[in-house]
Structure 1
Amino acid sequence: MDLTPEQAAIRESVREFAVEEIRPTARAADEEESFPEGVWDDLAEQELTAMTVPEEYGGLEVDGLTYALVNEEVAYGQLAVATALSVHCLATSCIAEFGSEEQKERWLPEMVEGRPVGAFALSEPHAGSNPAEMSTEARKDGDEYVIDGTKQWITNGERSGVVVLFAKTDADAPGTVTQFVVPKDVDGLEVGKKEEKLGLRASDTTTLTFDDVRIPEENRLTPVGEGLAAAFSILTGGRVAIAAQAVGLAQSALDLALEYAQEREQFDGPIADIQSVRHKLAEMHARTQAGRLLTYDAARQLDDGRPPALAASTAKYFASEAAMDVTNEAVQIHGGYGYTTDFPVERLYRDAKITTIYEGTTQIQKKVVARELLD
């Protein structure tokens, strides 16, 4: 698909940043399970933390395709950084779309600068793919809400300063899910230990426990009972971002495999001359490009105001599975070296798996696609 000159320039700029600034920190960040805060500050300087914020609050308010391009290229550098950025942007999107004028003026001008970092608290230990089953409650008490419950798999859980929270105003009433904004420094909010994960190890993933947390009524973002619809609306765009990240990850693995295949010699020549290797590279390219085109199409549908659920879930499903296939083949092309931490393809392979799980598993995406086709 053709890009505008501005979109092409942004893509080139972010790719350069990914190669020169993100990639050099990726191995250490993964091994130390520590998020590269210096990279985050550089992202903020480039205003990438402001992508989903309207201009009147200091943001960029980029179109959906540009947002996808940025996610793709940041993930080309390291998926953990792209994940942190997209979750921050989910939080700013919620405030920008559902917040009052006072709430926008209070939170957004600082968040566009990258601090405080945003978190998005929807999933729970017993309510992952079906958030309607959440048990976290925010009960009304005078002019305050009192929050009790636990959220799980929270990206930016420890490093965030603002949490967009989904809770029921009545624990026994499924239709009362409501959206709130909660500052991290409130009394009673406890951050759990960082999860030890297969991949995405540089990402800060924790539980958040709310124990008699009190926030003023003015921190409620949506009308009572409209939080779940708000979450699904925001996550549709989020799925396009995850699809884009999967494409960026796959492209990174493909480029590394192409480079290695032309340098590694076996049987009196580079392994790129071996037909089975050439076929692998061709298949990797095809899957990556197909995922890219599906993702860009979904992004354009968002920009055009068309119902995006079918396109977004199709792109997320296909691109994430393609990332798994492509990174697996990249490891195979590297042979024994691909199984060691001396080469980055093993990290890409580990990271790829999460794209098939978070913001809706592959199975959930297939369910959405089938529903859109049949209902």
Structure 2
Amino acid sequence: MEFKLNETQESIRDLAREFAEKVLKPRIDDIEEVGHFPTDVYQQMADTGLLGIAFDEKYGGIGAGYDSFVLAFEELSKVSPSAATALLITLLPLEAINLFGSEDQKQAYIGPSIEGKLRGSMAFTEPSTGSDPKQLTTTARLEGDTWVISGVKRFISNAAYDGPMLLYAKEAETGKCTAFLFDKPIEGYSTSTPWEKIGLLGSPCYDVFLDEVRVPNDDFHILGKRGDGFTILKATTAYGKLGFSAVFLGAFGGAVNAAKDYVTTKVHRDSTITKFQAIQTKFATMLSKYESCRYMVYNCAETANDHSRLEEMLGQSALVKAYVGDTAVEGCVLAMNLMGSYGVMKEYQTERFLRDALIGPHVEGQTDVQRVIAAGYYLNH
């Protein structure tokens, strides 16, 4: 296997890196203070093509694959993991539509979303469940030619923005999980105030309240087939796990860069502190963790490019997400240690990368659950 980027991959990586340095970096403090991502910067990211990297050109995408996608999201996250997360959340329902949707659904949502006109959401998690479809309490009952959906969804990103909502609910008659697709907001749909969380402050999440939301019973408003909701969810979240792995890899990379800048400029008796073996060994330990994460993410991206390997992707993405989620936290702590007291100061950014990384083990599938999923796949193949 040759770990060498082709011309397209290098171009997309450089584009994302330049955007992060020139556009995102000056707005970091604004994002942290207001707690959501600035609309004008989000539109700039869309105009640059960063939402369409992996989608087919016929829908307005670039068609460069998931290997280019993770390179771009890693570079964005080295400066602002919140920026990459804001993009990623929009992409999750689009991935589901791309994998399972009709041509009408793809035409309606993929193009406008990657142009920045819509921000999609995906809603499965509820106050009483995060991964078990049998515990869903949001129900959809059929009244004539209309589905009536009621319930509460928790921690839903982008829920307050206009765009497609991919919502999983239990059919009242059959008890099966079905994926419903509709435009938000809609009558009967409302959200809480944003949850306050430790990091990723530019990507707010909400509770969603569904008070007899009415959705037509037709092919456009159901993704895939009735009762296939959990199958669609598992496939979609495999790509979500890859995306979040790239985000937290980038957060780790940002901390590595901050630590390197510090130790190579901090002077002790006329030379930098890199002369100390304690600094060298800690830096090498941090770097080895970062490189191992990179190769796991890049390898998973290669698998993601081939949709015929979806079953393998389910196991591999779970393994990668678990490893990168935990290891990024460990790496950011090492970076903070290398910087001493400066590491905990907001001005030096490492504390922000750590706060963002701390979310990694807990979103898009909790770490221990991902290890169980990964073990289940690899023990049987």
Question: Could you tell me which residue of structure 2 aligns to residue 130 of structure 1?
Answer: 132
1:204 aligns with 2:204: yes
* Structure 1 stretch displaced more, 339-348 or 100-109: 100-109
2:264 corresponds to 1:262:
yes
Alignment-derived partner of residue 189 in structure 1: 189
Assess if the C-alpha contact under 8 Å between 1:119 and 1:163 holds in 2: yes
Whole-Å Cα distance in 2 between the matches of residues 222 and 73 of structure 1? 34
Work out which of the residue numbers 218, 233, 237 in structure 2 matches 1:235: 237
Aligned equivalents of 2:298 and 2:173: distance in 1? 40
Distance in 2 separating the partners of 1:229 and 1:336: 48
TM-score by length of 2: 0.93
Secondary structure (helix, strand or coil) at the match of 1:3 reads coil
2: distance between equivalents of 1:260 and 1:192?
A: 41
Residue number among 35, 50, 53 corresponding to 2:37 in the alignment: 35
Q: 1:171 to 1:50 in 2, by over 3 A?
A: farther
- Corresponding position: 1:341 with 2:343: no
Structure 2 CA distance, aligned partners of 1:369 and 1:213? 36
Determine whether 1:169 maps to 2:174: no
Sort the Cα spacing of 1:217 and 1:344 in 2 relative to 1 into closer, same or farther, 3 A.
Answer: same
Contact persistence 1:194–1:205 (CA under 8 A): yes
Displacement of 1:268 after TM fit?
A: 5.3
TM-score (norm 1): 0.94
Counterpart position of 1:322: 327
Larger deviation: 318-327 or 51-60? Answer: 51-60
The 2-side partners of 1:66 and 1:56 are apart by 18
What residue in structure 1 maps to residue 7 of structure 2?
Answer: 5
8 Å CA contact 2:59–2:110 kept in 1: the answer is yes
Which residue number in structure 1 is paired with residue 117 of structure 2?
115
Q: Which amino acid aligns with 1:142?
A: G
Partners in 1 of 2:188 and 2:320 — Cα distance? 39
Q: Is the 8 A contact 1:298 1:315 kept in 2?
A: yes
Question: C-alpha distance in 1, partners of 2:15/2:201?
Answer: 26
Structure 2 counterpart of 1:223:
225
8 Å contact kept, 1:118–1:161: yes
RMSD over aligned Cα atoms: 1.7
Corresponding residue for residue 20 of structure 2 = 18
Return the offset for 1:50: 2.4
1:274 Cα deviation from its structure 2 partner: 1.8
Per-residue deviation at 1:101? 2.4
Question: Which ranges of 4 or more aligned residues in structure 1 deviate by more than 4 Å?
Answer: none
Q: Secondary structure at the match of 1:331?
A: helix
SS of the aligned residue for 1:24 comes to helix
**Distance in 2 separating the partners of 1:239 and 1:110:** 24
Deviations 1:58-104 (A, max 9, x none): 23333121122122122122111111211111111222222222222
Task: Give secondary structure in 2 for the equivalent of 1:196.
Answer: coil
SS of alignment partner, residue 206 of structure 1: strand
Deviation at 1:295?
0.9
Mapped to 2, the partners of 1:372 and 1:101 lie a distance apart of 32
* Alignment-mate amino acid for residue 38 of structure 1: D
**Could you tell me the percent identity over the aligned residues?**
29
Matches within 5 A, 1:275-314: 275-304=277-306, 305-306=308-309, 307-314=312-319
| Amino acid in the other structure paired with 2:345 | T
1:105 corresponds in structure 2 to: 107
Distance 1:10 1:179, change over 3 A: same
Deviations 1:235-269 (A, max 9, x none): 11221111111211111110110001112234554
Aligned partners of 1:101 and 1:67: how far apart in 2? 23
SS of residue paired to 2:92: helix
Distance in 2 between the 1:356 and 1:300 partners? Answer: 23
Deviates more, 1:350-359 or 1:268-277: 268-277
- Alignment pair present for 1:365 and 2:370: yes
Q: Which residue of 2 aligns with 1:179?
A: 179
Rounded Cα–Cα distance in structure 1 between residues aligned with 2:264 and 2:200: 29
Contact persistence 2:86–2:202 (CA under 8 A): no
**8 Å Cα contact 1:165/1:180 also seen in 2:** yes
Mapped partners of 1:129, 1:257: distance in 2: 37
- Tell me the amino acid that sits aligned with residue 10 of structure 1: I
One-letter identity of the residue aligned with 2:191: V
CA distance in 1, matches of 2:226, 2:340: 55
Unpaired segments ≥5 residues, structure 1:
none
Tell me the CA shift for residue 331 of structure 1. 1.5
User: Which of 136, 143, 149 lines up with 1:141 in the alignment?
Assistant: 143
